[in-house]
Amino acid sequence: MTKGLPLASSTWDEKEIIAAKKVLDSGKTTMGLEVAEFEAKFAQATGSKFAVMFNSGSSANLAMLFSLKYSKEHGLRPGCEVIVPAVSWSTTYYPVSQAGFRLRFVDVNKETLNIDLNEIEKNINKNTGAILAVNLLGNPADLQNLRRIAESNGLVLIEDNCESLGAELEGKQAGTFGLAGSFSFFFSHHICTMEGGMVVTDSKELEDILRSLRAHGWTRGLSENNFVHPLSSNSWEDLFRFVLPGFNLRPVEISGAVGKIQLEKLEDFIFVRRRNAEIYRSLFGESEHFRIQTETGKSSWFGFPFILTNEFKGKRAEILNLLTNNSIETRPIVAGNFLRNPVMKHLDHIADGNFFNADEIHTDGFFIGNHHFDIRENLYELRELFDQFQKEAIL
Protein backbone atom coordinates (compact mmCIF):
# COMPACT_ATOMS: atom_id res chain seq x y z
CA MET A 1 0.00 0.00 0.00
CA THR A 2 1.28 3.45 -0.91
CA LYS A 3 1.56 5.42 2.29
CA GLY A 4 0.51 9.01 2.63
CA LEU A 5 -1.27 11.41 0.31
CA PRO A 6 -0.14 14.92 -0.67
CA LEU A 7 -2.65 17.70 -1.12
CA ALA A 8 -1.61 18.30 -4.73
CA SER A 9 0.78 16.98 -7.34
CA SER A 10 2.27 18.14 -10.62
CA THR A 11 0.24 17.57 -13.79
CA TRP A 12 3.22 18.34 -16.04
CA ASP A 13 5.38 16.03 -18.09
CA GLU A 14 8.04 16.65 -20.74
CA LYS A 15 5.51 18.30 -23.10
CA GLU A 16 5.07 21.28 -20.79
CA ILE A 17 8.84 21.60 -20.28
CA ILE A 18 9.43 21.59 -24.04
CA ALA A 19 6.70 24.21 -24.56
CA ALA A 20 8.15 26.44 -21.84
CA LYS A 21 11.67 26.13 -23.25
CA LYS A 22 10.42 26.99 -26.72
CA VAL A 23 9.01 30.25 -25.37
CA LEU A 24 12.25 31.05 -23.55
CA ASP A 25 14.27 30.31 -26.66
CA SER A 26 12.07 32.64 -28.71
CA GLY A 27 12.87 35.60 -26.44
CA LYS A 28 9.19 36.60 -26.56
CA THR A 29 8.12 35.95 -23.00
CA THR A 30 5.60 38.73 -22.30
CA MET A 31 1.92 38.31 -23.08
CA GLY A 32 1.42 37.57 -26.76
CA LEU A 33 0.39 34.91 -29.24
CA GLU A 34 0.63 31.91 -26.87
CA VAL A 35 -1.73 33.56 -24.41
CA ALA A 36 -4.13 34.56 -27.20
CA GLU A 37 -4.21 31.00 -28.55
CA PHE A 38 -4.85 29.57 -25.09
CA GLU A 39 -7.70 32.05 -24.59
CA ALA A 40 -9.31 30.98 -27.86
CA LYS A 41 -8.99 27.27 -27.04
CA PHE A 42 -10.30 27.81 -23.51
CA ALA A 43 -13.34 29.74 -24.75
CA GLN A 44 -14.11 26.91 -27.15
CA ALA A 45 -13.63 24.24 -24.47
CA THR A 46 -16.03 25.97 -22.07
CA GLY A 47 -18.60 26.88 -24.71
CA SER A 48 -18.01 30.61 -24.19
CA LYS A 49 -17.72 33.39 -26.75
CA PHE A 50 -14.78 35.06 -25.03
CA ALA A 51 -12.00 34.20 -22.59
CA VAL A 52 -9.49 36.62 -21.09
CA MET A 53 -6.43 35.27 -19.30
CA PHE A 54 -4.90 36.78 -16.14
CA ASN A 55 -1.85 36.14 -14.02
CA SER A 56 -3.91 34.31 -11.35
CA GLY A 57 -7.40 33.22 -10.46
CA SER A 58 -7.45 35.93 -7.80
CA SER A 59 -6.66 38.52 -10.47
CA ALA A 60 -9.43 37.05 -12.61
CA ASN A 61 -11.87 37.67 -9.75
CA LEU A 62 -10.52 41.19 -9.28
CA ALA A 63 -11.00 42.11 -12.93
CA MET A 64 -14.40 40.40 -13.10
CA LEU A 65 -15.76 42.47 -10.21
CA PHE A 66 -14.23 45.71 -11.48
CA SER A 67 -15.73 45.07 -14.91
CA LEU A 68 -19.16 45.41 -13.25
CA LYS A 69 -18.07 48.81 -11.99
CA TYR A 70 -17.49 50.12 -15.52
CA SER A 71 -20.03 48.21 -17.60
CA LYS A 72 -22.74 50.41 -19.11
CA GLU A 73 -24.96 47.43 -19.88
CA HIS A 74 -24.51 45.41 -16.68
CA GLY A 75 -22.88 47.87 -14.28
CA LEU A 76 -23.58 48.06 -10.57
CA ARG A 77 -23.85 51.37 -8.75
CA PRO A 78 -21.38 52.11 -5.91
CA GLY A 79 -22.46 50.51 -2.66
CA CYS A 80 -24.58 47.84 -4.33
CA GLU A 81 -24.83 44.64 -2.36
CA VAL A 82 -23.34 41.46 -3.76
CA ILE A 83 -24.66 38.26 -2.19
CA VAL A 84 -21.89 35.76 -1.41
CA PRO A 85 -21.64 32.40 0.40
CA ALA A 86 -19.97 32.40 3.81
CA VAL A 87 -17.59 29.60 2.78
CA SER A 88 -15.03 30.44 0.13
CA TRP A 89 -11.50 31.74 -0.43
CA SER A 90 -10.36 35.23 0.54
CA THR A 91 -10.11 36.56 -3.00
CA THR A 92 -13.72 35.72 -3.66
CA TYR A 93 -14.56 38.50 -1.23
CA TYR A 94 -11.81 41.11 -1.43
CA PRO A 95 -12.57 42.24 -5.02
CA VAL A 96 -16.21 42.90 -4.12
CA SER A 97 -15.11 45.33 -1.42
CA GLN A 98 -12.22 46.74 -3.47
CA ALA A 99 -14.57 47.54 -6.35
CA GLY A 100 -16.75 49.61 -4.01
CA PHE A 101 -19.59 47.14 -3.48
CA ARG A 102 -20.92 45.75 -0.21
CA LEU A 103 -20.69 42.07 0.68
CA ARG A 104 -23.88 40.43 1.92
CA PHE A 105 -23.06 37.03 3.39
CA VAL A 106 -25.48 34.10 3.47
CA ASP A 107 -25.08 30.57 4.78
CA VAL A 108 -24.28 27.55 2.65
CA ASN A 109 -26.24 24.38 2.06
CA LYS A 110 -25.39 21.68 4.59
CA GLU A 111 -25.11 18.90 2.01
CA THR A 112 -23.59 20.49 -1.11
CA LEU A 113 -21.48 23.08 0.78
CA ASN A 114 -22.53 25.65 -1.84
CA ILE A 115 -24.58 28.81 -1.39
CA ASP A 116 -28.05 28.22 0.08
CA LEU A 117 -30.69 29.42 -2.39
CA ASN A 118 -33.33 29.88 0.32
CA GLU A 119 -30.98 32.23 2.15
CA ILE A 120 -30.34 34.17 -1.05
CA GLU A 121 -34.03 34.85 -1.57
CA LYS A 122 -34.39 36.02 2.04
CA ASN A 123 -31.56 38.52 1.55
CA ILE A 124 -32.53 40.12 -1.76
CA ASN A 125 -33.56 43.74 -1.27
CA LYS A 126 -33.64 47.06 -3.13
CA ASN A 127 -29.87 47.43 -2.75
CA THR A 128 -28.96 44.01 -4.17
CA GLY A 129 -27.05 44.18 -7.44
CA ALA A 130 -25.50 40.77 -7.97
CA ILE A 131 -25.11 37.19 -6.79
CA LEU A 132 -21.59 35.80 -6.71
CA ALA A 133 -21.93 32.02 -6.76
CA VAL A 134 -18.98 29.85 -5.76
CA ASN A 135 -18.68 26.30 -7.07
CA LEU A 136 -16.92 24.77 -4.09
CA LEU A 137 -14.28 22.03 -4.36
CA GLY A 138 -15.32 21.06 -7.88
CA ASN A 139 -19.03 20.91 -7.10
CA PRO A 140 -21.41 23.11 -9.14
CA ALA A 141 -23.84 25.23 -7.19
CA ASP A 142 -27.52 25.01 -8.18
CA LEU A 143 -26.68 27.23 -11.12
CA GLN A 144 -29.86 26.89 -13.14
CA ASN A 145 -32.02 28.00 -10.23
CA LEU A 146 -29.49 30.66 -9.33
CA ARG A 147 -29.83 32.06 -12.82
CA ARG A 148 -33.62 31.96 -12.50
CA ILE A 149 -33.45 33.88 -9.20
CA ALA A 150 -31.06 36.44 -10.68
CA GLU A 151 -33.12 37.00 -13.81
CA SER A 152 -36.44 37.27 -11.97
CA ASN A 153 -34.98 39.92 -9.66
CA GLY A 154 -33.00 41.86 -12.25
CA LEU A 155 -29.65 40.84 -10.74
CA VAL A 156 -26.30 40.01 -12.27
CA LEU A 157 -25.07 36.44 -11.72
CA ILE A 158 -21.34 35.80 -11.77
CA GLU A 159 -19.42 32.66 -10.78
CA ASP A 160 -16.19 32.00 -8.94
CA ASN A 161 -15.35 28.71 -10.60
CA CYS A 162 -11.67 28.71 -9.63
CA GLU A 163 -11.91 25.30 -7.94
CA SER A 164 -14.25 23.66 -10.42
CA LEU A 165 -12.85 23.57 -13.94
CA GLY A 166 -14.52 20.73 -15.83
CA ALA A 167 -17.61 20.54 -13.63
CA GLU A 168 -20.91 20.28 -15.48
CA LEU A 169 -24.61 20.76 -14.90
CA GLU A 170 -26.92 19.19 -17.50
CA GLY A 171 -24.24 19.35 -20.18
CA LYS A 172 -23.22 22.96 -19.54
CA GLN A 173 -19.87 23.90 -18.03
CA ALA A 174 -19.80 25.41 -14.54
CA GLY A 175 -18.50 28.96 -14.79
CA THR A 176 -20.67 29.72 -17.84
CA PHE A 177 -24.15 30.10 -16.33
CA GLY A 178 -23.76 33.73 -15.34
CA LEU A 179 -22.63 36.90 -17.05
CA ALA A 180 -19.03 35.89 -16.34
CA GLY A 181 -17.09 33.17 -14.56
CA SER A 182 -13.55 32.94 -13.21
CA PHE A 183 -11.08 30.04 -13.30
CA SER A 184 -7.70 29.35 -11.69
CA PHE A 185 -4.70 27.42 -12.96
CA PHE A 186 -2.68 27.37 -9.75
CA PHE A 187 -0.51 24.34 -8.97
CA SER A 188 -3.12 22.54 -6.86
CA HIS A 189 -5.95 23.01 -9.36
CA HIS A 190 -7.18 20.82 -12.21
CA ILE A 191 -4.69 22.20 -14.71
CA CYS A 192 -1.60 24.24 -13.92
CA THR A 193 0.10 27.08 -15.77
CA MET A 194 2.32 27.84 -12.73
CA GLU A 195 0.14 30.85 -11.87
CA GLY A 196 -2.76 31.88 -14.04
CA GLY A 197 -6.47 32.50 -14.29
CA MET A 198 -9.23 33.18 -16.79
CA VAL A 199 -12.57 34.95 -17.08
CA VAL A 200 -15.10 33.70 -19.60
CA THR A 201 -18.13 35.66 -20.79
CA ASP A 202 -20.50 35.93 -23.74
CA SER A 203 -20.59 39.73 -23.41
CA LYS A 204 -18.39 41.60 -25.89
CA GLU A 205 -18.61 44.69 -23.71
CA LEU A 206 -17.31 42.81 -20.69
CA GLU A 207 -14.52 41.24 -22.73
CA ASP A 208 -13.33 44.68 -23.85
CA ILE A 209 -13.44 46.02 -20.29
CA LEU A 210 -11.54 43.01 -18.97
CA ARG A 211 -8.80 43.40 -21.59
CA SER A 212 -8.41 47.07 -20.77
CA LEU A 213 -8.41 46.51 -17.00
CA ARG A 214 -5.86 43.70 -17.38
CA ALA A 215 -3.25 46.01 -18.93
CA HIS A 216 -3.14 49.43 -17.27
CA GLY A 217 -6.61 50.48 -18.40
CA TRP A 218 -5.36 51.46 -21.85
CA THR A 219 -6.87 51.04 -25.30
CA ARG A 220 -3.95 49.10 -26.75
CA GLY A 221 -5.07 45.72 -28.04
CA LEU A 222 -8.75 46.66 -28.30
CA SER A 223 -10.58 46.26 -31.57
CA GLU A 224 -11.70 49.26 -33.58
CA ASN A 225 -15.32 48.66 -32.62
CA ASN A 226 -14.88 48.21 -28.88
CA PHE A 227 -17.13 49.13 -25.95
CA VAL A 228 -14.50 50.91 -23.85
CA HIS A 229 -13.28 53.88 -25.92
CA PRO A 230 -13.21 54.66 -29.62
CA LEU A 231 -9.84 54.31 -31.30
CA SER A 232 -8.47 57.27 -33.21
CA SER A 233 -6.87 57.54 -36.61
CA ASN A 234 -3.51 57.83 -34.85
CA SER A 235 -2.36 54.28 -34.02
CA TRP A 236 0.65 55.57 -32.06
CA GLU A 237 -1.56 57.53 -29.67
CA ASP A 238 -3.89 54.53 -29.31
CA LEU A 239 -0.99 52.57 -27.84
CA PHE A 240 -0.79 54.88 -24.83
CA ARG A 241 -4.33 56.14 -24.23
CA PHE A 242 -5.51 55.36 -20.67
CA VAL A 243 -9.26 55.23 -20.25
CA LEU A 244 -9.97 53.02 -17.20
CA PRO A 245 -8.22 52.88 -13.80
CA GLY A 246 -6.84 49.43 -14.49
CA PHE A 247 -4.11 47.15 -13.23
CA ASN A 248 -1.22 45.08 -14.51
CA LEU A 249 -2.66 41.57 -14.32
CA ARG A 250 -1.12 40.21 -17.50
CA PRO A 251 -0.02 36.57 -17.74
CA VAL A 252 3.23 35.54 -19.41
CA GLU A 253 3.72 33.54 -22.59
CA ILE A 254 4.99 30.44 -20.82
CA SER A 255 1.67 30.19 -18.99
CA GLY A 256 -0.23 30.41 -22.27
CA ALA A 257 1.97 27.81 -23.96
CA VAL A 258 1.68 25.39 -21.04
CA GLY A 259 -2.05 26.06 -20.72
CA LYS A 260 -2.69 24.84 -24.27
CA ILE A 261 -1.06 21.49 -23.48
CA GLN A 262 -2.75 21.16 -20.10
CA LEU A 263 -6.14 21.82 -21.67
CA GLU A 264 -5.63 18.87 -24.02
CA LYS A 265 -5.15 16.63 -20.96
CA LEU A 266 -8.08 17.99 -18.97
CA GLU A 267 -10.65 15.41 -20.06
CA ASP A 268 -8.42 12.56 -18.89
CA PHE A 269 -7.63 14.37 -15.63
CA ILE A 270 -11.32 14.83 -14.85
CA PHE A 271 -12.11 11.22 -15.76
CA VAL A 272 -9.61 9.92 -13.19
CA ARG A 273 -10.71 12.42 -10.54
CA ARG A 274 -14.30 11.22 -10.93
CA ARG A 275 -13.19 7.60 -10.75
CA ASN A 276 -11.37 8.38 -7.49
CA ALA A 277 -14.56 10.03 -6.26
CA GLU A 278 -16.51 6.82 -6.77
CA ILE A 279 -14.14 5.11 -4.32
CA TYR A 280 -14.39 8.05 -1.91
CA ARG A 281 -18.17 7.89 -1.90
CA SER A 282 -18.28 4.10 -1.54
CA LEU A 283 -15.90 4.16 1.43
CA PHE A 284 -17.19 7.21 3.28
CA GLY A 285 -20.68 8.02 2.00
CA GLU A 286 -22.59 5.95 4.57
CA SER A 287 -20.48 6.69 7.64
CA GLU A 288 -22.21 7.77 10.83
CA HIS A 289 -19.10 9.66 11.94
CA PHE A 290 -18.82 12.23 9.18
CA ARG A 291 -20.72 13.72 6.28
CA ILE A 292 -19.30 14.08 2.78
CA GLN A 293 -20.24 16.54 0.05
CA THR A 294 -23.39 15.83 -1.96
CA GLU A 295 -22.65 16.12 -5.66
CA THR A 296 -24.63 18.52 -7.84
CA GLY A 297 -24.56 17.66 -11.53
CA LYS A 298 -21.11 16.30 -12.39
CA SER A 299 -18.46 17.51 -9.99
CA SER A 300 -14.85 17.74 -11.13
CA TRP A 301 -13.84 16.80 -7.55
CA PHE A 302 -11.14 19.29 -6.61
CA GLY A 303 -10.80 17.53 -3.25
CA PHE A 304 -12.65 15.30 -0.81
CA PRO A 305 -14.27 17.07 2.16
CA PHE A 306 -15.31 15.59 5.49
CA ILE A 307 -17.55 17.18 8.14
CA LEU A 308 -17.24 15.35 11.44
CA THR A 309 -20.45 14.30 13.17
CA ASN A 310 -21.69 12.29 16.16
CA GLU A 311 -18.83 10.85 18.26
CA PHE A 312 -16.19 12.32 15.90
CA LYS A 313 -17.57 15.82 16.30
CA GLY A 314 -15.24 18.12 18.20
CA LYS A 315 -12.27 15.79 17.64
CA ARG A 316 -10.86 17.34 14.48
CA ALA A 317 -7.51 18.18 16.06
CA GLU A 318 -6.92 14.56 17.09
CA ILE A 319 -7.96 13.23 13.67
CA LEU A 320 -5.79 15.73 11.80
CA ASN A 321 -2.87 14.78 14.00
CA LEU A 322 -3.40 11.11 13.15
CA LEU A 323 -3.54 11.87 9.42
CA THR A 324 -0.48 14.13 9.58
CA ASN A 325 1.49 11.40 11.35
CA ASN A 326 0.61 9.13 8.44
CA SER A 327 1.67 11.70 5.80
CA ILE A 328 -1.85 12.54 4.67
CA GLU A 329 -2.07 16.28 4.04
CA THR A 330 -5.24 18.11 5.02
CA ARG A 331 -6.62 21.63 4.77
CA PRO A 332 -9.68 23.52 6.04
CA ILE A 333 -12.65 23.41 3.69
CA VAL A 334 -11.42 26.38 1.67
CA ALA A 335 -11.36 29.03 4.45
CA GLY A 336 -14.22 27.79 6.60
CA ASN A 337 -16.70 30.47 7.66
CA PHE A 338 -14.86 33.49 6.33
CA LEU A 339 -16.78 35.79 8.65
CA ARG A 340 -14.67 34.45 11.53
CA ASN A 341 -11.48 35.96 10.10
CA PRO A 342 -10.07 39.20 11.62
CA VAL A 343 -9.81 40.75 8.14
CA MET A 344 -13.58 41.26 8.16
CA LYS A 345 -13.12 44.52 10.06
CA HIS A 346 -11.63 45.94 6.86
CA LEU A 347 -14.45 44.82 4.55
CA ASP A 348 -17.78 46.57 4.05
CA HIS A 349 -20.25 43.79 4.70
CA ILE A 350 -23.59 42.66 6.10
CA ALA A 351 -24.09 39.30 7.81
CA ASP A 352 -27.68 38.99 9.03
CA GLY A 353 -29.19 35.71 10.12
CA ASN A 354 -27.40 32.57 11.26
CA PHE A 355 -24.48 30.68 9.77
CA PHE A 356 -24.94 27.27 11.37
CA ASN A 357 -23.71 25.29 8.39
CA ALA A 358 -20.70 27.51 7.70
CA ASP A 359 -19.79 27.35 11.40
CA GLU A 360 -19.99 23.55 11.39
CA ILE A 361 -17.69 23.45 8.37
CA HIS A 362 -15.36 25.88 10.14
CA THR A 363 -15.03 23.86 13.34
CA ASP A 364 -15.52 20.26 12.18
CA GLY A 365 -14.59 20.24 8.51
CA PHE A 366 -11.46 19.47 6.51
CA PHE A 367 -10.56 18.09 3.12
CA ILE A 368 -7.92 15.91 1.52
CA GLY A 369 -6.54 16.21 -1.99
CA ASN A 370 -7.79 14.48 -5.10
CA HIS A 371 -5.46 13.83 -8.02
CA HIS A 372 -5.28 13.09 -11.73
CA PHE A 373 -3.97 9.59 -10.95
CA ASP A 374 -5.42 6.58 -9.15
CA ILE A 375 -5.47 7.05 -5.35
CA ARG A 376 -7.73 4.17 -4.35
CA GLU A 377 -5.03 2.60 -2.16
CA ASN A 378 -4.60 5.90 -0.35
CA LEU A 379 -8.34 6.14 0.23
CA TYR A 380 -8.41 2.60 1.63
CA GLU A 381 -5.58 3.60 3.94
CA LEU A 382 -7.56 6.62 5.06
CA ARG A 383 -10.55 4.44 5.84
CA GLU A 384 -8.37 2.16 7.95
CA LEU A 385 -7.09 5.17 9.88
CA PHE A 386 -10.65 6.36 10.57
CA ASP A 387 -11.58 2.86 11.74
CA GLN A 388 -8.51 2.83 13.97
CA PHE A 389 -9.46 6.18 15.45
CA GLN A 390 -13.00 4.99 16.13
CA LYS A 391 -11.80 1.89 17.99
CA GLU A 392 -9.36 3.89 20.10
CA ALA A 393 -12.03 6.49 20.86
CA ILE A 394 -14.40 3.78 22.11
CA LEU A 395 -11.70 2.13 24.22
pLDDT for the residue numbered 181: 98
Residue 2 lies in a domain: no
* Residues 254 and 270 occupy one common structural domain: no
- To the question of pTM greater than 0.95 for the whole model, the response is yes
Q: Assess whether 229 and 101 both reside in one domain.
A: yes
316 shares its domain with 250: no
Mean pLDDT (whole number) for 157-172: 97
- Among the listed residues 74, 189, 190, 216, the single catalytic one is 189
Q: Where are the beta strands (DSSP E) in the chain?
A: 50-54, 81-85, 102-106, 128-134, 156-160, 168-169, 172-173, 180-184, 197-201, 290-291, 303-308, 349-350, 365-369
Pair 2, 378: CB distance under 8 Å: yes
Distance between CA atoms of residues 61 and 46, nearest Å: 17
The pLDDT assigned to 391 comes to 86
Sheet holding 365-369, edge to edge: 290-291, 303-308, 365-369
Domain termination residue (choose one: 240, 260, 280): 260
Q: For residue 157, what are the β-bridge partners?
A: 131
Domains in the chain: how many in total?
2
d(CA 274, CA 286): 18
Domain that holds residue 103: 14-260
Among 260, 283, 298, residue at a domain's last position = 260
**Which of 260, 281, 316 is at the close of a domain?**
260
Contacts of 285 (CB under 8 A, 6+ apart): 292
Residue 346 known to be catalytic: no
d(CA 332, CA 305): 9
- 345-392 pLDDT, tens digit each: 999 999 998 999 999 999 999 999 999 999 999 999 999 999 999 988
pLDDT tens digit sequence for 315-345: 999 999 999 999 999 999 999 999 999 999 9
Q: How far are the Cα atoms of 19, 72, 254, 340, 364 from residue 16, in angstroms, in the given order?
A: 5, 40, 9, 40, 39
- pLDDT for the residue 1: 39
**Residue 49 belongs to a domain:** yes
> Residue 35: inside a domain, yes or no?
yes
Strands 156-160 and 180-184: parallel
Q: What is the pLDDT of residues 95-149, one digit of tens each?
A: 999 999 999 999 999 999 999 999 999 999 999 999 999 999 999 999 999 999 9
- Residue 185 falls inside a structural domain: yes
Same structural domain, 248 and 275:
no
Same-domain check for residues 74 and 145:
yes
**How buried is residue 204: exposed, middle or buried, by Cβ count under 10 Å (0-12/13-18/19+)?**
middle
Residues sharing a CB contact under 8 Å with residue 218, sequence separation 6 or more, in sequence order? 212, 239, 240, 241, 242, 243, 246
Residues 253 and 145 in one domain: yes
Q: Return the CATH number at 238.
A: 3.40.640.10
Residues 248 and 382 in one domain: no
The number of beta carbons lying within 10 Å of the beta carbon of residue 394 is: 7
Nearest Cα residue to 190 out of 291, 85, 307, 274: 274
DSSP 280: H
246 and 306, same domain (yes or no): no
Q: Of how many residues is the chain composed?
A: 395
Which bin fits 314, alpha (ψ -120 to 50), beta or left (φ > 0)? Answer: left
Any domain includes 201: yes
Percent share of the chain, pLDDT over 90 = 96
253 and 273, same structural domain?
Answer: no
Q: Does 354 lie in the same domain as 228?
A: no
Task: Specify if 64 maps to a domain.
Answer: yes
> 3: pLDDT confidence band, cut at 50, 70 and 90?
confident
Q: Are 47 and 191 found together in one domain?
A: yes
Whether 107 and 31 share a structural domain: yes
Residue 8 within any structural domain of the chain: no
In a domain, 238, yes or no: yes
Q: Identify the CATH number of the domain in which residue 388 sits.
A: 3.90.1150.10
